[in-house]
């Protein structure tokens, strides 16, 4: 038991039952932030108490963040050390070993795996950590060592990109923690296709594993048909569709490096002769394709987060509506439209409403045949909606 651990207290008006039932966050407005607490270094481990001084949990404190407390363990006396890290990582690995035959997956999905603010993606013998909380930044060296010990990976990289770290007051300096960075993009097998992940210069950790089940569903819809993959990144939906038997696919993205990786992935997957790319602004590309009279049996739009926060919600919903309005006319009669959102602030109901409005304003109508989310290697914390950020809607028009 650590006797020198500081104590953090909830305000009297705050009901502690949510914490006792597993809530993983406490906002600054709900804490007694006196001078002593505000002086704590970001990432300091502490005991959380209710207003009656009853101990609730072991937490990490960051006075510089709106999320001032992250619950690490329900035991107020828990030791957050190498053994604790190894136990959490081993539990996460056990689930992935059940889910996947090959070591390519999200290994740690933050609160969903009991490691608040920590994202770890695995690419064979290389793992990429996003330490998006101050406590994880402070314990990054033992976390990386525990990760290598539990999984056997030879290389551990740190990715410091993204707005989450900025909100925690952390820097954006990525680097190598163990081993060496890969000299070339890493081939990743998924759904019968081979993708290329740039682990050092690509988006996020290099590849999005979350869409894996939605790629598979799209591939089934696209059998024998023509596919348009908008906001394609490295060809997530289009390469899976081609591997599943689509006749041809066009990938649209604004990033030349991403489309280059998509083309290399198509070659590795043996589908390059049926794959084409177009580098363009997605909205302009859809308008141009409509003017050309182009029609597709499946259109998929997987844009970046248009509503990453509550202040951006209304603008983001208008953007999702516009995506649907421009994409719907490109779907052939009886074809399919898949719309995706990775925005935390836009819940499923709001995203669905925006999408349906856009389809209607395009003069189209259809049935919603599937609502999807991230794969099971992205477990959701039952008391934290943010861990279920991904939403996909499939319509037959």
Q: Tell me the C-alpha distance between 368 and 351, whole Å.
A: 13
CA-based torsion, 89, 94, 95, 96: positive or negative: positive
- Find out whether 202 and 322 touch, Cβ atoms under 8 Å: no
Q: Tell me the C-alpha distance between 241 and 231, whole Å.
A: 15
As a three-state string, the secondary structure of the chain is: CCCCCCEEEECCCCCCHHHHCCCCEEEHHHECCCHHHHCCCCCEEEEEECCCCCEEEEEEECCCCCEEEEEEECCCCCCCCHHHHHHHHHHHHHHHHHHCCCCEEEEEEHHHHCCCCEEEEEECCEEEEEECCHHHHHCHHHHHHHHHHHHCCCEEEECCCCHHHHHCCCCCCCEEEECCCCCCCEEEEECCEEEEECCCCCCCCCCCCCCHHHHHHHHHHCCCCEEEEECCCCCHHHHHHHHCCCCEEEEEECCHHHHHHHHHHHHHHCCHHHEEEEECCHHHHHHHHHHCCCCEEEEEECCCCCCCCHHHHHHHHHHHHHHHHHHHHHEEEEEEEEEEECCCCCCHHHHHHHHHHHHHHCCCCCEEEEEECCCCCCCCCCCCHHHHCCEEEEEEC
Among the listed residues 68, 313, 323, 342, the single catalytic one is 342
Q: Tell me the C-alpha distance between 182 and 388, whole Å.
A: 31
Q: What torsion do the CA atoms of 184, 105, 222, 353 make, to the nearest 10 degrees? A: -120
The radius of gyration of the chain from alpha carbons, rounded to an integer in Å, stands at: 22
342 given a catalytic annotation: yes
Q: Which residues are catalytic?
A: 342
């Amino acid at each position: 038991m650590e006797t020198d651990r500081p104590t953090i207290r909830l305000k009297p008006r705050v009901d502690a039952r949510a914490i006792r039932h597993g809530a993983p966050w406490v906002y600054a407005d709900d804490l007694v932030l006196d001078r002593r607490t505000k002086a704590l270094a970001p990432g300091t481990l502490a005991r959380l108490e209710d207003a009656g001084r009853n101990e609730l949990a072991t937490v990490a404190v960051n006075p510089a963040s709106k999320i001032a407390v992250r619950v690490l363990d329900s035991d107020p006396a828990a030791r957050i050390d190498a053994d604790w890290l190894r136990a959490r990582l081993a539990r996460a690995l056990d689930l992935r070993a059940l889910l996947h035959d090959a070591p390519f997956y999200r290994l740690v999905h933050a609160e969903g795996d009991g490691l608040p603010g920590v994202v770890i993606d695995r690419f064979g013998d290389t793992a990429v950590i996003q330490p998006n909380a101050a406590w994880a930044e402070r314990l990054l060296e033992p976390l990386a060592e525990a990760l290598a010990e539990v999984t056997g990976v030879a290389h551990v990289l740190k990715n410091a990109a993204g707005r989450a770290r900025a909100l925690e007051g952390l820097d954006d300096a990525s680097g190598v923690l163990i081993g060496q960075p890969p000299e070339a993009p890493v081939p990743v097998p998924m759904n019968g296709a081979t993708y290329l992940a740039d682990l050092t210069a690509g988006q996020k950790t290099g590849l999005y594993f979350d869409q894996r089940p939605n790629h598979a569903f799209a591939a089934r819809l696209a059998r024998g048909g023509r596919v348009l993959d908008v906001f394609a990144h490295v060809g997530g939906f289009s390469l899976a569709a081609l591997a599943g038997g689509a006749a041809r696919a066009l990938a649209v993205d604004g990033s030349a490096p991403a489309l280059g990786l998509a083309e290399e992935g198509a070659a590795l997957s043996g589908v390059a002769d049926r794959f084409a790319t177009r580098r363009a602004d997605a909205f302009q590309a859809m308008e141009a394709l409509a003017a050309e009279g182009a029609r597709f049996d499946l259109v998929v739009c997987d844009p970046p987060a248009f509503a990453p926060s509550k202040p951006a919600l209304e603008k983001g919903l208008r953007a999702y509506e516009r995506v649907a309005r421009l994409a719907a006319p490109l779907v052939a009669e009886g074809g399919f439209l898949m719309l995706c959102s990775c925005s935390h602030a836009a819940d499923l109901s709001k995203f669905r409403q925006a999408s349906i409005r856009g389809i209607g304003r395009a003069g189209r109508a259809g049935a919603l045949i599937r609502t999807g989310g991230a794969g099971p290697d992205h477990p959701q914390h039952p008391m934290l909606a943010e861990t279920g950020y991904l939403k996909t809607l499939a319509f037959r028009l």
